């Protein structure tokens, strides 16, 4: 069933690519705006040979992983603290909601001053952008845990720490993973965005360089690689979530 | 508190002496003058949920607490389970005061409380896991309790794959696996249909008879109380006070078939007479 659904998705995607190829050939879509998919595919070996795509791919993936991982760890801990102390939640939850909607990436000059033109700047901006949605998701997840599960845990003699480990965290795991997904999305967007803006490091910088050279097939191929980074993370995340659920 | 020793139920054997048996056995549970008052809020006065309730439960006894909705049954349950503190009075289990969840007390809640991320066997084995029992041993012991509640063959199923009645049986098995010396149940069958309630009641009877498990059941179902109990404590509508004890004179061992006997009908009628008075008062005071 799952294989069938995946195959159907791939077929739809292939159909859309074929449609785009046809639309460009027919002059419906301007080929100087969107190159033919066959040209984009042909640009990939050139990028691998000439633009150190593999190392750039790993830089972007690594920075995204660091930012998303950090924001998930810190965000889940902060979410747990906000859940545990209602006064803290009332004080800070609105602030996190505001931050979640703020385009922190625009403050990149400040981060450049603080952390220099380095991967640290990229990771810190991505972390700061991914953190608020993770906190909000985590606190909502903890708050939605059925009180009777907590009462059952307490009646079995669980203390605060054991209650968190054995009841709260597993019960809120779907929300924590939704937070992790958001962290990856926000993290990747911001990593690529900052790399593009400060022309440093991974695929974002590559997209910047290729677009400045008007190498449209190369630019679109690099954008495709960003999508590939995202797909890799989501496959790993799905597997991790299934594994954790099996472990209880 | 009303004078409980004054009112003897029909065909109910010896009148109860207010929960202070002269029996030699040390009570498994002693509830002594327990009162619970919820604080006054803006524009509202304090609410006395439970008022000066005292009774004992002896080892091996099955006692039910029955009363109209809003009489403080569940509050009393929470206090005995150590999940809430009493405003006044105290609760002792095996002579030791209850100041929090007590290792000798196992609780089954009104709402099923299976951990949805654990399989049936891992739910039941959870207390043993906490106690550090080796995996193979805890699974063997969990299987014993799963058999006991009639769920053999469902060990690897997840709670979401089970019916409400089956999930509640998993919770009972999990509680029994913890080896409680006092089993507390708060309307465990309230969300189930009548047939399932009767059959689960039968299952609880079998378990109680097999383990001689001291049990305190909170319920609003008269038939459930009579079917399962040695004694039934009737509570008044708000504030919840002890109205009287009714000793159920039905012979043991019992099955669900006992509900068709004349003695069962007589006991239900006696309890209903008490409960109707309180339920009517409750409806009147609630504006119903």
- CATH classification of the domain holding A150: 1.10.3720.10
CB contact under 8 A, A248 and B115: yes
In which band, very low, low, confident or very high, does the pLDDT at B141 lie, cut at 50, 70 and 90?
very high
The answer to whether residues B166 and B189 belong to one domain is no
Q: How many domains does chain B have?
A: 2
Check CB contact of B186 with chain A, cutoff 8 Å. no
In which band, very low, low, confident or very high, does the pLDDT at B175 lie, cut at 50, 70 and 90?
very high
pLDDT of residue B121: 95
pLDDT of residue B105: 92
Spatial separation of the C-alpha atoms in residues A172 and A150, rounded to whole Å: 12
The pair of three-digit structure tokens given for residue B236, joined into one six-digit string: 């008044």
The answer to whether residues B239 and B273 belong to one domain is yes
CB A83 within 8 A of CB A89: yes
The stretches in chain A having pLDDT less than 50 are none
Query: What ipTM was predicted for this assembly?
Result: 0.80
Residue B105 DSSP SS3 = strand
Tell me how close the Cα of B1 comes to any Cα of chain A, in angstroms: 29
pLDDT of residue B43: 62
Query: In this predicted model, which residue has the larger pLDDT, B99 or B193?
Result: B99
Q: What is the DSSP letter of B153?
A: T
Any alpha helices (H) in chain B, and if so which ranges? 73-81, 120-124, 126-130, 135-148, 164-177, 194-211, 222-228, 262-285
Q: Mean pLDDT throughout B102-124?
A: 92
The answer to whether residues B41 and B123 belong to one domain is no
List the domain range (segments joined by +) for residue B247.
4-104+180-285
List the domain range (segments joined by +) for residue A48.
40-247
* pLDDT digit string, tens, across residues A90-103: 999 999 999 888 88
Q: Is A32 within a domain?
A: no
Q: Is B109 within a domain?
A: no
Instruction: Point out the domain boundary residue: B179, B201, B220.
Output: B179
The answer to whether residues B163 and B55 belong to one domain is no
Q: Is B201 within a domain?
A: yes
Q: Is A30 within a domain?
A: no
The answer to whether residues B223 and B147 belong to one domain is no
Q: Is A19 within a domain?
A: no
Question: Which of B78, B100, B117 to substitute to test the interface with A, most A CBs within 10 Å?
Answer: B117
Check CB contact of B157 with chain A, cutoff 8 Å. no
Instruction: Point out the domain boundary residue: B146, B179, B212.
Output: B179
Q: Is A31 within a domain?
A: no
What percent of chain B has pLDDT above 70? 88
In which band, very low, low, confident or very high, does the pLDDT at B7 lie, cut at 50, 70 and 90?
very low
Q: Is B29 within a domain?
A: yes
Q: Mean pLDDT throughout B90-101?
A: 90
Q: Is A22 within a domain?
A: no
| Those residues with Cβ within 8 angstroms of residue A114's Cβ, 6 or more apart along the chain or in another chain | A121, A124
Q: Is A11 within a domain?
A: no
The answer to whether residues B144 and B259 belong to one domain is no
CB contact under 8 A, A171 and B101: no
Q: How many domains does chain A have?
A: 1
- For tokens 């550090």, the residue is B132
- For tokens 């449609």, the residue is A19
The CATH number assigned to the domain holding B224 equals 3.40.50.300
Please check the confidence at residue B15 and state whether its pLDDT lies above 50. Answer: no
Of B35-39, B79-83, B123-127, B154-158, where does mean pLDDT reach its minimum? Answer: B35-39
Q: How many residues does chain B have?
A: 288
Instruction: Point out the domain boundary residue: B160, B179, B198.
Output: B179
Q: Is A5 within a domain?
A: no
Q: C-alpha dihedral over B187, B190, B191, B195, to 10 degrees?
A: 130
Tell me how close the Cα of A140 comes to any Cα of chain B, in angstroms: 18
Spatial separation of the C-alpha atoms in residues B65 and A125, rounded to whole Å: 60
Q: Is A26 within a domain?
A: no
The answer to whether residues B98 and B225 belong to one domain is yes
CB contact under 8 A, B107 and A171: no
Check CB contact of B18 with chain A, cutoff 8 Å. no
| DSSP state string for chain A | -HHHHHHHHHHHHHHHHHHHHHHHHTTSS-TTTS--HHHHHHHHHHHHHHS-HHHHHHHHHHHHHHHHHHHHHHHHHHHHHHHH-HHHHHHHHHHHHHHHHS-GGGGHHHHHHHH-SSHHHHHHHHHHHHHHHHHHHHHHHHHTS-HHHHHHHHHTT--HHHHIIIIIHHHHHHHHHHHHHHHHHHHHHHHHHHHHHHT-SSHHHHHHHHHHTT-HHHHHHHHHHHHHHHHHHHHHHHHHHHHHHHH-
Look at the pTM and tell me if it is higher than 0.95. Answer: no
């Amino acid at each position: 069933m799952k294989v069938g659904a995946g195959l159907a998705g791939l077929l739809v995607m292939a159909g859309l690519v074929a449609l785009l190829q046809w639309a460009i050939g027919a002059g419906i879509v301007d080929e100087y705006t969107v190159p033919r998919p066959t040209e984009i595919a042909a640009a990939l070996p050139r990028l691998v040979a000439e633009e150190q795509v593999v190392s750039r791919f790993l830089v972007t993936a690594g920075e995204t992983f660091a930012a998303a991982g950090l924001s998930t760890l810190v965000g889940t801990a902060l979410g747990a603290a906000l859940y545990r102390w209602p006064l803290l939640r009332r004080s800070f939850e609105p602030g996190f909601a505001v931050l979640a909607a703020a385009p922190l990436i625009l403050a990149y000059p400040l981060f450049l001053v603080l952390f220099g033109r380095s991967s640290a700047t990229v990771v810190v901006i991505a972390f700061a952008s991914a953190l608020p949605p993770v906190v909000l998701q985590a606190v909502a997840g903890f708050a939605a845990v059925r009180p009777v599960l907590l009462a059952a845990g307490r009646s079995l003699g669980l203390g605060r720490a054991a209650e968190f480990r054995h009841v709260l965290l597993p019960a809120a795991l779907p929300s924590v993973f939704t937070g992790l997904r958001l962290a990856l999305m926000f993290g990747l967007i911001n990593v690529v965005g900052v790399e593009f803006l400060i022309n440093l490091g991974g695929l974002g910088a590559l997209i910047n360089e290729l677009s400045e050279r008007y190498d449209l097939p190369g630019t679109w191929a690099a954008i495709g690689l960003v999508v590939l980074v995202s797909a890799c993370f989501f496959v790993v995340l799905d597997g991790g979530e299934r594994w954790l659920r099996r472990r209880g | 508190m009303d004078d409980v020793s004054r009112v003897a139920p029909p065909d109910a054997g010896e009148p109860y002496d207010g929960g202070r048996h002269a029996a030699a056995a040390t009570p498994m549970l002693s509830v002594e003058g327990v009162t619970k008052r919820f604080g006054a809020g803006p524009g509202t006065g304090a609410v006395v949920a439970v008022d000066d309730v005292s009774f004992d439960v002896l080892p091996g006894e099955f006692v039910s607490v029955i009363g109209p909705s809003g009489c403080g049954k569940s509050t009393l349950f929470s206090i005995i389970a150590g999940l809430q503190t009493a405003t006044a009075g105290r609760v002792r289990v095996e002579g030791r005061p209850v100041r929090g969840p007590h290792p000798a007390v196992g609780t089954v809640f009104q709402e099923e409380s299976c951990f949805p991320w654990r399989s049936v066997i891992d739910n039941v084995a959870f207390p043993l896991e906490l106690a550090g029992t080796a995996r193979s041993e805890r699974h063997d012991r969990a299987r014993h309790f799963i058999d006991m509640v009639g769920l053999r063959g469902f060990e690897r199923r997840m709670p979401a794959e089970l019916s409400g009645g089956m999930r509640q049986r998993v919770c009972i098995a999990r509680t029994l696996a913890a080896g409680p010396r006092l089993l507390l149940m708060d309307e465990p069958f309230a969300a189930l249909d009548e047939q399932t309630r009767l059959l689960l009641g039968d299952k609880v009877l079998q378990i109680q008879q097999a383990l001689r498990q001291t049990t305190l059941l909170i319920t609003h179902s008269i038939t459930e109380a009579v079917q399962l109990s040695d004694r039934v404590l009737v509570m008044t509508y708000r504030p919840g006070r002890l109205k009287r004890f009714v000793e159920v004179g039905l012979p043991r061992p019992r099955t669900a078939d006992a509900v068709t006997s004349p003695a069962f009908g007589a006991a239900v009628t006696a309890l209903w007479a008490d409960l109707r008075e309180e339920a009517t008062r409750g409806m009147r005071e609630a504006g119903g």
